[in-house]
Amino acid sequence: MFESLSEKLQRAFKNLKGEGRLSEQHIDEALKEIRIALLEADVNFKVVKQFTDAVRAKAVGQDVLQSLSPGQQVVKIVRDELVDMLGGENARVHFTSQPPTVIMLVGLQGAGKTTSAGKLSKWLAKNGHRPILVSVDVYRPAAREQLKVIARDIGVKIWEGEAGDKPLALCQNAFREARNTGHDVLVIDTAGRLHIDETLMKELAEIKDTIKPHEILFVADAMLGQDAVKSAQQFHQQLGFNGFILTKMDGDARGGAALSIKQVTGQPVKFVGTGEKYDALELFHPDRLVSRIMGMGDILSLIEKAEEVVDKKQALELQEKIQKDSFTMEDFRDQLRQMRKLGSMEQILSMLPSIGPFKDLQKAKVDEKELVRTEAIINSMTPKERRNHQIINGSRRKRIAKGSGTSVQAVNQLLKQFVQTQKMMKGMKKGLFGKAMRGMKMPQMPF
């Protein structure tokens, strides 16, 4: 995500930082590169012009041109303007003091409304709410059945209604059910179309006027770029909504929709979908996304993910084992499992800064299948072998390779990797790096 844009912006910044003194010509040349990079990322051309005009107006001031580090000041200006372009602060869902809060999802067919309804409900449940789902898509074959399956998978109640119920009746009865059963949020999954039509908009307007939802979120496919922005603009003009869920952000290589949609419609992105799993929905933080685009990483999100999935008891036990030099192959396997809970290695690496000690890691290509094979090899060992890898001789290695469906070479490679990890653990215990990590009071990371 944003890989190409990130590389081009960092190249423009590198040229600026290399200058001892900046002139307006230097800034013009950098802004030309930035303008091309944004347009190639499919950002709306009006948004690009507003952005570059704003950066130039601030960057050519005498305070910047005559400062000791003008290049760094220009980078800060670009960063601040990008954050502003994306909406500034994180825009959260507003919950009513008199439940249930009604959240209505709208958008075109294929954008991912039904899956997003499930993801949003799981996010709500994880954050202390009691959501209930209802599908009013009575037109698309098996649409309501799809939401029923999702609701069962995530453990959230769904209001199914009666056969032949109209969309408005389904909403009214689901609202009544939510209020009577203590569910504090009602999530409405509405019907979509391949394009905006009068019948669809009339139905949505009727639901809006009658149910009066507290949040109307437009679900947009980020991979459609400016087409998603245009459809959102039309929807907002005819219906009105107060936020976005951007789906398929993990597959959006350019980022045009994310960077344009707030400026064009005036409405903020509230959530982003980052994968296919039901927990792959995140609050949208403009400042964190900009940090990733500019190669500064997103350590805060990585820490938050770690806090969600890392077993604190296991983390404390691991810390004790590192202190006692008793880190085993079983511990190695457990740490791999916890690391995979954070997401794919590509997602984890994308949150690390592309500068300093993490620069080479950003370029690393990790085969997810390799992690699965590693776990299979460890699982093929006996408990005794996992606790003491030094007893694994030639015949044991052949047995482990056969049991895991791998090769002796793969087993040898894993054992070598494990020994290196043990050495690294000892170094972390004794060296300054370990002291620094403890001083930062960060949660024990599973790698």
The answer to whether residues 404 and 323 belong to one domain is yes
Looking at residue 127, its amino acid is: N
Residue 285 belongs to some domain of the structure: yes
Query: For residue 19, what pLDDT is reported?
Result: 60
- Sequence-distant (≥ 6) Cβ neighbours of residue 17 within 8 angstroms: 71, 72, 75
The answer to whether the beta carbons of residues 336 and 371 sit under 8 Å apart is: yes
CATH of the domain at 306: 1.10.260.30
269 and 283 inside one domain: yes
How many angstroms separate the CA atoms of 327 and 417, rounded?
A: 13
Q: Please indicate, yes or no, whether residues 114 and 81 belong to a single structural domain of this protein.
A: no
Question: In the listed set 243, 272, 295, which residue is the last one of a domain according to the structure?
Answer: 295
444 falls within a domain: no
Task: Report the candidate in 6, 81, 79, 59 with the shortest Cα–Cα distance to residue 37.
Answer: 6
Let me know whether 274 and 318 are in one domain.
no
Same domain, 328 and 432: yes
Q: Is 232 within 8 Å of 261 (Cβ atoms)?
A: yes
CB 291 within 8 A of CB 297: yes
Each residue's pLDDT, cut to its tens digit, for the chain (447 residues) gives 567 777 788 787 777 766 656 678 878 888 888 889 888 888 888 899 999 999 888 887 766 656 656 677 778 888 888 888 888 877 888 899 899 999 999 988 888 899 999 999 999 999 999 999 999 998 876 888 999 999 999 999 999 988 788 999 999 999 999 999 999 999 999 988 777 778 888 999 999 999 999 999 999 888 887 888 888 888 888 888 999 999 888 766 567 778 888 888 889 999 998 888 898 898 888 888 887 777 665 555 555 566 566 666 666 676 676 666 677 888 888 877 777 666 666 666 665 555 544 444 455 555 667 888 888 999 999 999 988 888 999 999 999 999 999 999 999 999 988 888 777 766 655 543 444 344 433 333 333
* Six token digits for residue 17: 């930082």
Residues 279 and 372 in one domain: no
Q: Which of 295, 323, 356 is the C-terminal boundary of a domain? A: 295
Residue 401's H or E segment, with its range, is helix 394-404
Alpha carbon distance 156, 327 (integer Å): 40
Q: Which of 239, 272, 295 is the last residue of a domain?
A: 295
Q: How would you classify the pairing of strands 243-247 and 215-221?
A: parallel
Are 316 and 286 in a shared domain? no
Q: How far apart are CA 421 and CA 418, in angstroms?
A: 5
Query: What pLDDT, on a 0 to 100 scale, did the predictor assign at position 5?
Result: 79
Residue at 96 is within a domain: no
Q: Which residue has the tokens 């079983």?
A: 330
Q: What would the two tokens of residue 433 be?
A: 């790096």
Strand partners, 106: 218
Residue bearing tokens 């001892």: 20
Same domain, 264 and 318: no
Which residues, in sequence order, are CB contacts of 395 under 8 Å at separation 6+?
none
**Alpha-carbon torsion angle 244, 249, 253, 259, nearest 10:** 30
Please check whether residue 312 lies inside any domain of the structure. yes
In a domain, residue 124? The reply is yes
C-alpha pair distances (Å), 230 with each of 160, 198, 216, 234, 250? 33, 17, 18, 6, 21
Instruction: Examine residue 91 and state whether it is found in any structural domain, yes or no.
Output: no
**Residue 146 located in a structural domain:** yes
| Residue 4: CB atoms within 10 Å | 13
Please check whether residues 266 and 316 belong to one and the same domain. no
Query: What residues pair up with 226 in beta bridges, in sequence order?
Result: none
Total domain count for the chain?
A: 3
Q: What number of H helices and E strands is found in the chain? A: 22, 8
CATH number of 44's domain:
1.20.120.140
Residues 248 and 114 grouped into a single domain: yes
Can you tell me whether residue 24 is helix, strand or coil? helix
- Answer whether residue 445 is part of any domain: no
In order of 53, 246, 275, 314, 446, the CA distances from 336 in angstroms are 48, 30, 20, 13, 7
| Burial group, residue 360, by CB count within 10 angstroms (0-12, 13-18, 19+) | exposed
Residue 365: other Cβ atoms inside 10 A: 7
pTM for the complete prediction?
Answer: 0.68
Q: Which residue has the tokens 């997602």?
A: 347
* Residues 269 and 334 occupy one common structural domain: no
Its domain, for residue 25, covers 3-85
Q: What is the pLDDT of residue 438?
A: 43
The answer to whether 257 touches 228, Cβ cutoff 8 Å, is yes
- Provide the pLDDT for residue 357: 43
Looking at the structure, do residues 130 and 275 belong to the same domain, yes or no?
A: yes
CB 217 within 8 A of CB 272: no
Output the pLDDT for position 322: 65
